[in-house]
Amino acid sequence: MRLPARGGTVRNALLIAALALAQAAPAQQLRRLALIAGNDEGGRDTRPLVYATQDARKIHEILTRVGGVRAEDATLLLNARPDEVLRSLAALEARAAEARRRGDRTALLVYFSGHAKDGALRLGDGTIPLDALKARLSAAPADIRLGIFDACRSGATVRTKGVRKAPAFEVQSDARADAQGLVILTSSASDEDSQESDLIAGSYFTHHLASGLRGDADRSGDGRVSLSEAYAYAYDRTVADTAESAAGAQHPTFTYDLAGNGDLVLTELSNRPEGLRFPAAAPQGVYYLVDGRGRVVAEVWKEAGAERKIVLSPGKYRVKRRLEDKLRIGEVEVQGGAVSTLDESRLRDAPFSDDPVKGGSRTSLSVGLGASYQAFFGYQTYFPPSSALGLELQLHHYFRADWMLDFDAALGSGRGAVPLTTGDGSVPYRFTQLALGSSIVTQWPFGDVIPFAGVRLSFMVLGRSFDPEVYAAGTQVMFTWSPGAVAGVRWHFAGGWHAVARLRLQYLSYNIDENRHFGFGELGGMVGYAF
């Protein structure tokens, strides 16, 4: 049976099918084996993906935590070659066959996130034909075979999987039900792109599938997330999120034949009690749970008056709820073996620029005033130490999430003297400097403290003025480009206000009296406001 790929009929058909499978077997009675692979690289004619391996890690974590897959039965392959994938699959098949011989019921799950093109999965420079993989899954010695493929072609403005227009990638193109116990999920229909998003730091499909598996898809409230629940959840969210994208709406597909075997429970929330509970009194809306690295680990669609619970690894998370004109953000800690409860009163209002999501999403702007002290490594008779005041303009999440494009202008001054090499004494002068720079930095948010590092290029105008009685020309000037590196820490201390401490190391080339190459360091601080 093949479910249509679009519209509400998908969900209805799936639910009907699920109800018809009255002999559902308890998930814990299955021996579950999983092969999870993610490949950011798709070889020639493809652009590297950003989140494919991250998506694979996420699914691996969920399956081993609440998916009933023992750690030794889960194989995670990141950027692996096709032969490595097929070898690992063979090993799992052998293990499944052995389990069947012992009388166990078995389920084999294969998840892949990456590129696909011309009817084949792309793993770096190698490929695995989809037909062959499907046939392999069909014949696998497991009672239930589940394939989840998050892959397709490229799009326009949002990052998509694949690169150019090509024959449709289609995992399941016919509706023949000749593979007993075979289920295949795909992230998009045969003529669609699958899309990644910086906002959620992952692919839409895997992100929503993962959120559903963590518990948000448990609409029945029985503490289990079934395949049909997970798919329906992922379908709705993926279509909704991609409807307005330039690549067009993305419709996940579902193809299965589980006749006689019942619906498959993918995650058993009671397996691991730690997580976060959203009490019924919590305001409705979409909540994002962000880990310490700024990644969205789960998205929860909280309805008014309904309680929600999701499974999370122990750790600290930032909670974000987006309102029309601001964010509500806060921090929760999930401890091992315990379920924490979200306390709305501990959330605070914050501007959009304080978005804790690493994916940063939309570009935001901040400005700041700073001061710095600069010293050259040698050649101080030419370039004395100086202090400067500056203005900075920063575009956050500009090229991509957690990258920052910074424009700065600083005016500084100092005093120095030219020592005479022929004669005695020295000639005093006043040193001035104008620097116009631009930096690209990447950031690693840890709550309110955000370390950053990057590169900087500045255009410098260096000048000095003498007593005209001593040096008739009066002034000298030099202009040059100076590349360098910058590193520092930004601390958000109140609302949009933040303070920055940073160190710049720059290279300088001098070629007037002679060719010289040296560097200088600049220690600075800034107070800024993010809009």
Q: Does 517 bind another protein (CB under 8 A)?
A: no
- Identify which of residues 260 and 425 has a Cβ nearer to another protein in the complex: 425
* Stretch 339-398 residues interacting with another protein (CB under 8 A): 381-382, 398
**How many angstroms separate the CA atoms of 293 and 447, rounded?**
9
Residue range at the interface with another protein (CB under 8 A); choices 109-117, 131-139, 185-193, 508-516: 508-516
Q: Does 519 bind another protein (CB under 8 A)?
A: no
Binder to another protein among 426, 447, 455, 493 (CB under 8 A)? 426
Residue range at the interface with another protein (CB under 8 A); choices 19-27, 87-95, 167-175, 462-470: 462-470
- Cβ–Cβ under 8 Å, residues 344 and 319: no
Residue range at the interface with another protein (CB under 8 A); choices 185-193, 217-225, 231-239, 468-476: 468-476
Residue range at the interface with another protein (CB under 8 A); choices 110-118, 287-295, 466-474, 515-523: 466-474
| Burial environment of residue 409 by CB neighbours within 10 A (0 to 12, 13 to 18, 19 or more) | middle
- Identify which of residues 7 and 474 has a Cβ nearer to another protein in the complex: 474
Interface with another protein: number of residues (CB under 8 A): 41
The crossing angle, in degrees rounded to 10, of helices 204-211 and 52-66 is 20
What do you get for the CA distance between the two ends of the chain, in Å? 53
Q: Does 520 bind another protein (CB under 8 A)?
A: no
Compute the Cα dihedral for 136, 130, 229, 332 and give only its sign.
Answer: positive
Binder to another protein among 446, 481, 491, 531 (CB under 8 A)? 481
- Identify which of residues 12 and 426 has a Cβ nearer to another protein in the complex: 426
- Cβ–Cβ under 8 Å, residues 255 and 177: no
- Cβ–Cβ under 8 Å, residues 309 and 339: yes
Q: Does 413 bind another protein (CB under 8 A)?
A: no
**How many angstroms separate the CA atoms of 168 and 67, rounded?**
31
Q: Does 465 bind another protein (CB under 8 A)?
A: no
Q: Does 515 bind another protein (CB under 8 A)?
A: no
| Burial environment of residue 337 by CB neighbours within 10 A (0 to 12, 13 to 18, 19 or more) | exposed
Binder to another protein among 260, 305, 337, 425 (CB under 8 A)? 425
Q: Does 284 bind another protein (CB under 8 A)?
A: no
* Stretch 81-120 residues interacting with another protein (CB under 8 A): none
Cβ–Cβ contacts within 10 Å for residue 44, how many?
9
Minimum CB distance to another protein, residue 416 (Å): 10
**How many angstroms separate the CA atoms of 27 and 31, rounded?**
9
User: Per the structure block, which two tokens stand in for 198?
Assistant: 């910086």
**How many angstroms separate the CA atoms of 318 and 322, rounded?**
13
Binder to another protein among 466, 497, 507, 518 (CB under 8 A)? 466
**How many angstroms separate the CA atoms of 246 and 156, rounded?**
6
Owner of token pair 């959120």: 211
Q: Does 464 bind another protein (CB under 8 A)?
A: yes
- How far from 496 is each of 326, 327, 353, 364, 468, CA to CA, in Å? 12, 12, 7, 11, 49
Q: Does 399 bind another protein (CB under 8 A)?
A: yes
Minimum CB distance to another protein, residue 158 (Å): 10
Minimum CB distance to another protein, residue 470 (Å): 5
Binder to another protein among 178, 244, 324, 513 (CB under 8 A)? 513
**Beta strands in 344-423, from DSSP E residues, in sequence order:** 348-350, 364-376, 386-396, 403-419
Residue range at the interface with another protein (CB under 8 A); choices 132-140, 268-276, 299-307, 506-514: 506-514
> Residues for the chain: how many in total?
531
Q: What is the 3-state secondary structure (H, E, C) of 287-349?
A: EEEECCCCCEEEEEEECCCCCEEEECCCEEEEEEEECCCCEEEEEEEECCCCEEECCHHHCEE
- Identify which of residues 203 and 255 has a Cβ nearer to another protein in the complex: 203
Binder to another protein among 24, 339, 409, 478 (CB under 8 A)? 478
User: Per the structure block, which two tokens stand in for 388?
Assistant: 């400067």
Q: Does 442 bind another protein (CB under 8 A)?
A: no
Interface contacts to another protein, rule CB under 8 A: 381-382, 398-400, 405, 418-427, 438, 457, 459, 462-464, 466, 469-474, 476-481, 509-514
